[in-house]
Structures are given as C-alpha cells and as structure tokens.
Amino acid sequence: MRDYSQAFARLGRSKFRSRFRLTDDDRKYIERVGMGTIRYHCEDFIRIRLAPANPPNDGKQTPMRGHPVFKAQHACACCCRGCLEKWWKVPRGIPIPSNRQRGMVDFLMAWIERQLSREVPL
C-alpha cells in the first residue's frame, strides 16, 4: 500500500474534510458486506459519477451520508470535479483515465482502512 500520510495530513488541516468519520453503522455495514464489495462500490461511484468529462449534477452528485465511500469521497476531496481540480489538479472537462481512477479508489480505500483501524480519523 502506498504511503498517503502527507495527503492525509493536508486534508486533516481542512475543518470541512476532517469532520468526516465512519460511524458504528458504517463499520457494521463494511463488516457485513466485506472490503471487496466496498471497493467494488467505490470503483463504480468513481467510474459513473466522477470519471466522465462532464458528470451529471457535478458538485451535487455525492451525498454526504448513506455509504462509507461517500464519506471517504468528501473526506478525501474526491466528491466532485471541482474538488478534484482544487485539491488534486485533476482538470475538469476531460474524462479521468482508468489508471487515475484506480489511484483515487486506492486512496479512498486507504482512508476507509485508516478509519477502521483507528479512533483518530486522518
């Protein structure tokens, strides 16, 4: 697994980003469905909701709650093309290539794993 400590530290300085946490219900859900399913959902959300050049409802496509991946997306600034551009220099208006999508999924999964293994979020 890659070392994302600098990225997590940067996100942790944001009052908005650092407020996201997995709840007990999120943890139970992850335990019930397994990390493989969570990764599959994450890949799907990124591919469908973020990867297109101009995703529908951009800026509003990621709910604030309802799925652990949604929380990870907000915590990691991977929730809309605007946040991706601001935080990660992913330009709007062009599709996100599959290798960059995989990197985003890996990062989001690392956030979820950190949440599962610690009391301290970022």
Q: What is the pLDDT of residue 2?
A: 76
Spell out the domain ranges in the chain. 5-117
Chain centre to alpha carbon of residue 62: 10
pLDDT tens by residue, the chain, 122 residues: 578 999 999 999 999 999 999 999 999 999 999 999 999 999 999 999 999 999 988 888 888 888 999 999 999 999 999 999 999 999 999 999 999 999 999 999 999 999 999 754 44
Q: Quickly list H helices, the chain.
A: 5-12, 24-33, 35-45, 68-75, 81-88, 98-117
Residue 1 has a pLDDT of 52
Write out the two tokens for 30.
Answer: 């992850």
Count of alpha carbons within 13 angstroms of residue 114, beta-carbon side: 24
CA distance 86 to 16: 14
